[in-house]
Amino acid sequence: MNNQNVMHIGIDVGSTTVKAVLLDTDNSIVWKKYERHNARQPEMVLEYLNFIQSKFPHAQLEIFITGSGGRAIAPHINAHYIQEVNAVTYAVEKLHPEAGSVIELGGQDAKVIIWKTDDQGRKSTLTFMNDKCAGGTGATIDKIFGKIGLSNSQASKIRATGKTIHHIAAKCGVFAETDVVGLVKAGIDREEIFVSLCNAIVKQNLEVLVRGNVLRDKVLLLGGPNTYLEAFTDLWRIHLPQTWNLHGWIPSSKKIDELIYVPQHAQYFAAIGAVLFGKESDQLYSEIHGSTEVKQRYAGPDKLVSYISQGRSSQLLSNGRVRDALVKPGEDLEKFKKTYSVPGFIPPSFPSGSTVKGFIGIDGGSTSSKLAIIDQSGELIYKDYILSRGNPIDDLKEMFNRIKSWITEKQIKLEVCGACATGYASSILSEAFSLDLTVVETVAHMRSSVKCYGDIDIICDIGGQDIKVLFLRNGRVIDFKLNTQCSAGNGYFLQSMAEQFGIPIEQYADKAFSAKKAPAFNYGCAVFMEQDKVHFQQLGFSKEEIMAGLALVLPLNIWNYVVQETNFTRFGKRIVLQGGTQKNLAAVKAQVDFILSRIPDAHIYVHKYADICGAIGAALEVRDRQHGQKSSFIGIDNAANLVFLSYNNEKTRCRFCVNRCPRTFIDIQLPSERNVRYISGYGCEKGMADDINKMRSQEAVKTALKERYANLVDYSGRLVFSNFEYQKFPSCNAEVPLPTYLQSDDGRKTVKRIRSFRRSSEDAIMKRSEMVIGIPRLLNLYVYAPFFSTYFRTIGVKEVVFSDYTSAQLWNEGNKWGAIDPCFPAKVAPAHIYNLLRRNNLTHICFPVITHLQSIVENTLGNNACVIQMGTPEVVDAVFTKDRDMFAQNNVCYLKPFVRMDRPKEASGYLYDYFKNILHITEDENTWAVIQGYEAMKQYFSNMQQQGAKVLNWLVENDKIGILVLGHPYHHDPGLNHGILDEFQLRGYPVLCIESLPLQSQLLSALFSQDELDEYFCIKDVWIRNFNRNTNLKIWAAKFAARHPNLAVVDLSSFKCGHDAPTYSYISNILDISDTPHFLFHDIDQNKPRATFNIRIQTIDYFLRLEEQRLRSRVKELL
């Protein structure tokens, strides 16, 4: 066969586009094509091949295919499949050998490739890709264009230079859309919004995808978004040099356009590379095996046509991507509908001219506003629901106008006895309409469900863009899950799918029930689910089958993705489904079947007022708390005609700190001609004031509250890093007893020995006096900082300094070394070390590997530290010496002594072996310093316990409830606890930590029974896997709290904490038996979801107020 007629086709079948190139024998591009496939991947490949054959009828075609959709198509066109990373890597090495890194943004994926060269000049590559989330990719951009009114051609011309950047969450495309909608409503310029989105995507990929590595120049920008949107090039050229400067990377040129650029054919690199890689592989195979076989060539479209018509469906069936329908054979669908259908609301009738007393509840949600009016018995007499038009005040004005029409129609007079708001807009609605009170939405939903269904365990509320799953115990909301990190599972997705199919949402269930089979969607990211939907549609699944599949994946998204819990039984069996989505019986059927498959004896209720539960709960709350007082509500007529002005400009920007947060002012004119200003969009409490005097007044109130109510978590976090008293070294050759105070490993005191104290040389003393040692405020150093700081001060170093507390600034400045992704307390460690490296005159950094800790808990399997914490000093060492030794460059010696703190004698030996040649100390000096370190620990614990005793006494004397925090020592870092405990302090609850609990036998004997007197500090009765010191203390502290009537518990745990997870149910069981109020924060991470935290804190505050009332009642009964 004549090889001169051979032409090579490279096809890249991506998630949103198909790219193809036709190369001649010299690898020159003869033809190329880039087009969105709209899930018509094989059809578009067929179109490309038919066109090429028509244009080059005599050519022999050899095809190389790559991309996420390429593997399935390859055998049907006789193509060689090339893995896409290999294709891109090979293309770059051949076409741009000078490249050091590649950033490729695709439709639903992002790739980073980094080339490294070893000492022998051999190159290797590091490759990173996104996994289960489409955040930070082109799909996120696609979702936004329509929202801001930009076409692709308009966006391609926008440059980033000079644009103001606004906050947008690029982690999830749906949440990015929510942020963008907010900016649009605030009147922000659409070009600024677009550039802000691109900026968020760039930062998302640099912080998450790069894994702490340096993107070496020259950096090629590949993929459609980088190719067609020039703003990305601008932003990469802004952010990458900042990263280089941070890492000390010296680029090869001073011209930024030579260092970071979009190469020619940037969107085709995978297609080109597939050909180049495939040809090279074929050639190598022929050379090795001496093969002269005819290479596989394209033989025509028949196999691909057959695959398009029927092959894909059979392939899906064999891969398990087809599942049973919503309605199984033999099921009684009518019985299901009768049991779970939401009944239509029939309002009561009233005599003409009568006066109706009612309580108004308002739920200002993210996508809709709901209103309910109940009578004095709590029965619903009026309801309304409106999709939000952008401003909740406008929504409520329209709803009040509807109430006016209803009053006129019914010929009645409505006397409003109270009005209450809940939901995200409750604050502004309360101000605007002078409502009597607001209530946190978790309580509102609970009150509504309990009113209708009694004692329940779980409430699952599925709204438009959010999911709330509430867990109740003993009449209290103890925990709840919100989709703060991902929008998977929301009801809006089902609604938008129905709209795309042209089916009214009311007909969704009947259509889905009629399907005999359903495609199996992958649960998780909504962007990926939409891609699945289009793919299934192209495979021939009917719209009814697709709608059934979407309903079936809903409970997976709720329980597996948002709640992340498979053992439902531990939460209880009485479950209420509510939220607007529950009116869709297809969604309900999927949830009921899913729950019953896990809890066969579950009692499941669909709330009869599923879409307005929050509003009903708010109305019930004001009914019970108004106590006959006159309502402050401005009245129906005034509310319907409310006048207000909303504006957002440079004059409204907050200037109380350097952040200069943008704010929105809403000026409301009330009937009394009193104007009220509501401020939204502020980043902290200072932004709530519109002038300096108000801000200072607010700060003064906060200061007074903090002085009145103790926060021993904050106190401990400051005390532990203070200077403690110590005894200086004895003079040289002084007769001293050593080691008098050091316990041996079996707990017995060692024998006193009098001997001459050996001192180090004057030269060694001089060297130590010049040392400045930095210690990071990290992990178990929130317990052992007194030991190590006192140890170093005792041996005579010049100064001991600490890193700053964790903060957004510290993290942003030092987060580019994130080599691994453990819990945030460990992940933030490189940022703390970087913070120390920037200090002047620092000579050493000490980050000890603490393997075991001291503990008051007795008869345990061990006092082990967490293995992640043990490994973190090693990770830090590797991170800062990976590309270059940053310690050496900063003339800093990095110290990571291995030490077991629960065995003082052993600790002394370890430290002497490690430090004797570094610090030039004698064994006597080391022993003395160790003694002083342990004495400092005693001072620290003694101080904490004295403070704790004062707080407990105050609680008892004043019949108040205090909060005992069950957490790890690192939760005393304000940047890791996100100020949660400060919020409780400002609400009037003293806060204690485990370290502050008094250990005097007088107190313990009063708390524990006579049978337990010898086992105050034993936890074997409730926790047998007691090998980790910090979790052991959490269990013991739970036993303490369960016996103290003035304590409630807040259980803190960081995201991904493997040691804490097994203790959750044990701690809950201990506290349930004693009916001790306890609440959970088990998802603390680097992100600070302020709205979620506020909901949780307000929920806890609500129930603790009730608990304090019960406590006072019990005390009165005893008097």
Return the pLDDT at 403. 95
* Closest to 303 (Cα-Cα) out of 559, 646, 72, 623: 72
**Top mean-pLDDT range of 305-309, 327-331, 687-691:** 327-331
The answer, yes or no, to whether residue 288 has pLDDT greater than 60, is no
Name the range with the highest mean pLDDT among 114-118, 472-476, 995-999: 995-999
Give the pLDDT band (50/70/90) at residue 780. Answer: very high
Q: What is the mean pLDDT of residues 478-499?
A: 66
Q: Where are the alpha helices (DSSP H) in 630-720?
A: 636-640, 692-708, 712-719
Instruction: Assess whether pLDDT exceeds 60 at residue 76.
Output: yes
Interval 641-650: pLDDT, tens = 888 777 666 6
- Section 107-124 average pLDDT: 82
Listed in order, strand segments (DSSP E) in 343-423 are: 355-364, 368-374, 380-387, 413-422
Q: What is the pLDDT of residues 149-177, one digit of tens each?
A: 788 888 889 999 888 787 776 555 555 66
Q: Give the number of C-alpha atoms closer than 13 A to the C-alpha of residue 317, restricted to the C-beta side.
A: 10
Long-range contacts of 1024-1028 (CB under 8 A, 24+ apart): 1025/861, 1025/1062, 1026/857, 1026/860, 1026/861, 1026/862, 1027/860, 1027/861, 1027/862, 1027/864, 1028/862, 1028/864, 1028/865, 1028/866, 1028/1059
Tally DSSP H helices, then E strands, for the chain. 41, 37
Output the pLDDT for position 19: 93
User: CA angle at residue 26 from 21 to 31, to 5 degrees?
Assistant: 25
Specify the pLDDT at position 537: 65
- Phi and psi at residue 403, in whole multiples of 5°? -65, -40
In which element (H, E) is residue 103 found?
A: strand 101-105
Q: Mean pLDDT check: name the lowest of 448-452, 881-885, 886-890, 919-923.
A: 881-885
| pLDDT above 70 as % of the chain | 85
* 368-374 and 380-387 strand pairing: antiparallel
Q: Of 140, 134, 90, which Cα lies nearest the Cα of 115?
A: 90
- HSE-CB of 733 using CA atoms within 13 angstroms: 1
Rounded Cα gap, residues 362 and 425, in angstroms = 10
What value does the mean pLDDT of the chain take? 84
Residue 284 predicted with pLDDT over 70: no
Predicted pLDDT at 175 = 58
Q: Is the pTM of this model over 0.75?
A: yes
What is the sign, positive or negative, of the torsion defined by CA atoms of 395, 401, 407, 409? negative
pLDDT digits (tens, 9 = 90+) for 969-1026: 999 999 999 889 999 999 999 999 999 999 988 888 888 876 655 678 888 888 888 8
Question: What is the rounded distance in angstroms from the CA atom of residue 495 to the CA atom of residue 23?
Answer: 46
**How confident is residue 289, by pLDDT bands cut at 50, 70 and 90?**
very low
Question: Residue 663 and residue 148: Cα distance in Å, rounded?
Answer: 20
Bridge partners for 476 per DSSP = 473
Length of the chain equals 1119
Give the tens place of pLDDT for each residue, 585-601: 999 999 999 999 989 99
Cα–Cα distance for residue pair 784/852, rounded to 1 Å: 11
In the block, residue with structure tokens 């599949």: 549
pLDDT (mean) for 954-974: 94
Give residue 741's pLDDT: 46
Confidence band, pLDDT 50/70/90 cuts, at residue 373: very high
pLDDT at 490: 58
Residue 1 — pLDDT band, cuts 50, 70, 90?
A: very low
Q: What average pLDDT does this structure show over 915-941?
A: 94
* 686 has a pLDDT exceeding 80: no
Q: Give the pLDDT of residue 484.
A: 53
Instruction: Decide: 534 and 564 in contact? Cβ < 8 Å.
Output: no
Q: What is the mean pLDDT of the segment spanning 317-322?
A: 62
Q: Is the pLDDT of residue 193 over 80?
A: yes
> What integer pLDDT is reported at residue 539 of this predicted model?
65
- Name the least confident of 430-434, 688-692, 907-911: 688-692
Residues 6+ apart with CB under 8 A from 55: 31
Tell me: pLDDT of 318 over 60. Answer: no
Q: Which residue has the tokens 């009053």?
A: 407
For the chain, list the domains and their CATH numbers: 3-96+272-316 (3.30.420.40), 104-262 (3.30.420.40), 355-364+412-424+435-638 (3.30.420.40), 642-707 (no CATH), 716-940 (no CATH), 942-1118 (3.40.50)
- Give the pLDDT band (50/70/90) at residue 244: confident
